[in-house]
Amino acid sequence: MAGRWRAAVLVLMCGVLAAPQDLPAGYDAILNDVYNRQSINPPSDTGMTICYGFVCRRRYEIDFEGPDRKAIAGILAAGKASPEAERAAVAKAVGWFDRRVGPVIGTSRRVSRADFRHLDDAHNFDCHDTSTNVTSLLLLFAKWNLLRHHTVGETRFRGNILFGQTPHNTAVLIASATGQGWAIDMWTTTYGAPADVMPIERWLNEN
């Protein structure tokens, strides 16, 4: 019963957790069934399913053409020097993604921290959507060999309503040298802005 209650809260607030399928070599295949359970396509070699409209109720398949991949590669090239630089470049690439898909699916008018309390779900992402989308985007970066200092981690969940912390989940990068997890959180930002990036321990304790 407790498990069902927790799942219901996740759907109401920000959705259930998402995790990658069709992973690049070296990733844990145990995560594969999550995309299947959501009935969405995993990232292909060239594109991904975009979730929007809250809890992935609306979906759009996008392929990134040559100019898109060139733009992404250019952004991530600025992260070659160090893990810190790579995380900053990834955050900017997420902002680029937001601007790229916004005019296509109508999310260019989205607001930060949208959830079930916002009636305009057709033009917004909840945190289920953003954690799924960013994880898929990070997996594409990995497939394209654009990540030098990180691997893609499982999405992470936080939420303790007894202490005023509402349910929320995020995409994660793992620093290859240290194993440190970093939240890559698009849900908390405004349209087109770089994703918020912070150590997962800090993210777990924020509201």
Give me the pLDDT at residue 167, please.
86
Residues 119-163 have pLDDT tens digits of 788 999 999 999 999 999 999 999 999 999 999 988 888 988 777
Place of tokens 């969940």: 157
Give me the pLDDT at residue 4, please.
32
Cα–Cα distance measured from residue 127 to residue 159, given in angstroms and rounded to the nearest whole number: 12
Give me the pLDDT at residue 174, please.
94
Give me the pLDDT at residue 119, please.
77
Give me the pLDDT at residue 54, please.
93
Phi, then psi, of 129 in degrees rounded to 5: -60, -50
Give me the pLDDT at residue 36, please.
67
pTM to 2 decimal places: 0.86
Q: Could you state, in order of their start, the residue ranges of all structural domains in the chain?
A: 19-205
Q: 129-157 burial by CB neighbour count: b if 16+ within 10 A, else e? A: bbbbbbbbbbbbbbbbebbebbbbbbbbb
Give me the pLDDT at residue 17, please.
37
Give me the pLDDT at residue 32, please.
58
Helix (H) or strand (E) holding 62: strand 58-63
Give me the pLDDT at residue 86, please.
98
Beta pairing, strands 196-199 & 58-63:
unpaired
Residues of the chain with pLDDT under 70: 1-34, 36-37
